[in-house]
Structure 1
Amino acid sequence: MRYFVSAADDERAGELTERLRNAGYDVVEEYEPGAVVLSVGGDGAILYNARRYGEPTLLPVRVADSEGNRIQVDVEDAVDRVSLLESGREGEDYRTVRHHKLTALVDGDPVRDGFRAMNDVHLHHASPVRAAKFGVTVIDGGEVVYETDGAIGDGLLVATPFGSTAYYRSITGSTFAEGLGVAFNNAHKPADAPESLVVSPGARVRLTLNETTYGENALLVRDDDPDPYRLSADDPVEIRRSEAAVEAIRFPDRGDE
């Protein structure tokens, strides 16, 4: 196997690279498709590497000052875990979990090249002090399971199972293991708007921004990407699961479910 160490701190990346090479492992200087990415940091590092490298295989590695809901390996024992990955049996000593991303489409095309999300895609008003006004249709199994043309609130979020431990959980207080989660963020209208829905992996969520005096622009944000897509009232968007996926290495002896 080949490995690539990705860390925001170049010195930290260099130290781990040196440790791996001293242990005899093949570590490349630049990312190459097929290389296992040691994603050093917290949950944000996972999202960054998933976004930057497309469909990588990630081995998340936590450092002392990082938050990581999904990280099992500390930087101190990263070399030992690579050794287990090399010598162990897949399915017994480790396993590779495939996490599909989300995509957002306008007229059947991605809103922007490479616009995919590992955690979630969410809509909110371009101004943080104003509510978003939008229509939403949730289609699951060919049937409309929820629809309104007059939602008003802080926005709406569509999450993956991987992302359900992040923003989705902060809105709903819950997580889910399969399918897609749809969460209304502080919805004022309609009165019967559900706080959340969990639908099948093949479900589609259609959003239409309503044009009003102060609501003619909204932001469509993926994960923690600082570069959102600006959605206008003439851009109905559909959010659904992408065929693109990230593979994450998990270790059952670290309490993996």
Structure 2
Amino acid sequence: MSTSIFSKKPLNVKVVGRNLDDLLPLLRQFPVNLVDKDPDLVITYGGDGALLGAERDFPGIPKFPLRDARQNPKCPKHTEAATLEKLFAGELKTDNLLKLVAETPNGDQLTGINDIVITRKVVSSAIRYRIWIDGELHRPQVVADSLVVSTPFGSTGYFQSITNGNFLTGIGLAFNNAMDLQRYSVIDQTSQITVELLRGPAVMMTDNDPKLIELDTNAQVRLRLSDNSTTVFGLEVFRCLDCYDLRKNGIPTS
């Protein structure tokens, strides 16, 4: 979706997150209607988790993620006021975030924009799993704590903590604490993935969704990219490295 939604005045906006009393007075300076249902745009005020939760509650609706100033110091270029001005002027970059889908044979399904994780249910015991890519055997057996299947957007999170790297295109598979020390694969984004749990029990989860799907030994899961994506504005601000350095070093807001 292009920035053409900002030609609509007033724009129906849903705001979610924390410390909203800091944001709402600034937001009311722009031509918006604050709504609870049927928004044109969802603004998240917080961190990554606020964006993930908003996509779960308002799937497919364009998002604008903004970090809250109380817990996230900002560089001089990215104050709330300056960033909102650029947003409503249609000057922020537009990205379409890919979404992962995981399905079990009995119809259970999870969808996420960061990653889908299959992990051990019993903390003291590893799981074993086998992976096929487009019907071809990719890994005959992996003994590990978990499998992380990641989008490019999500690869700067859990995937990166396992592999010490991220990627821009494709689907990432990260093998957490794998016995053979092979840490990851990055495959084509059109790939169809099948995972067979050789030894469980395990649980499957996505993003920060509290919903868990339990998997027993011999369970199979099919994973792929969704046909749907989500438009997000301003990721260049949300992931600004100068702002990140301030958060990382624990510099408090004034």
Q: TM-score if structure 1 supplies the norm length?
A: 0.79
Deviation (angstroms), 1:166: 0.1
The alpha-carbon distance between structure 1 residues 73 and 200, as it changes in their structure 2 partners (threshold 3 A), is farther
Q: Which whole-Å CA distance do the structure 1 matches of 2:147 and 2:238 have between them?
A: 34
Q: Give unmatched runs, 5+ long, in structure 2.
A: 1-10, 242-254
Deviation (angstroms), 1:77: 3.3
Q: Which whole-Å CA distance do the structure 2 matches of 1:50 and 1:184 have between them?
A: 26
Aligned equivalent of 1:233, options 196, 199, 217: 217
Contact in 1 for aligned 2:98/2:230 (Cα 8 Å): yes
Contact in 1 for aligned 2:192/2:222 (Cα 8 Å): yes
Q: Which whole-Å CA distance do the structure 2 matches of 1:219 and 1:210 have between them?
A: 13
Q: Does 1:205 align with 2:197?
A: no
**Deviation digits for residues 154-191 of structure 1, max 9, x if unmatched?**
01111000000000000000000011101111111xx3
Q: Which residue of 2 aligns with 1:162?
A: 153
Q: Which residue of 2 aligns with 1:45?
A: 50
Q: Which whole-Å CA distance do the structure 1 matches of 2:94 and 2:43 have between them?
A: 14
Aligned equivalent of 2:175, options 184, 189, 198: 184
Q: Which residue of 2 aligns with 1:121?
A: 116
Q: Give unmatched runs, 5+ long, in structure 1.
A: none
Q: Which residue of 2 aligns with 1:151?
A: 142
Deviation (angstroms), 1:145: 6.5
Aligned equivalent of 1:80, options 79, 82, 97: 82
Q: Which whole-Å CA distance do the structure 1 matches of 2:72 and 2:192 have between them?
A: 31
Contact in 2 for aligned 1:164/1:181 (Cα 8 Å): yes
Q: Which whole-Å CA distance do the structure 2 matches of 1:15 and 1:29 have between them?
A: 18
- Sequence identity percentage: 25
Q: Which whole-Å CA distance do the structure 1 matches of 2:57 and 2:100 have between them?
A: 15
Cα RMSD, aligned residues only? 2.9
Q: Which residue of 1 aligns with 2:3?
A: none
Aligned equivalent of 2:33, options 21, 27, 47: 27
Q: Does 1:137 align with 2:132?
A: yes
Deviation (angstroms), 1:233: 2.9
The alpha-carbon distance between structure 1 residues 46 and 130, as it changes in their structure 2 partners (threshold 3 A), is same
Deviation (angstroms), 1:15: 4.3
Q: Which residue of 2 aligns with 1:222?
A: 206
Q: Which residue of 2 aligns with 1:106?
A: 104
Q: Which residue of 2 aligns with 1:196?
A: 184
Question: Secondary structure of 1:241's partner?
Answer: strand
Question: Secondary structure of 2:79's partner?
Answer: helix
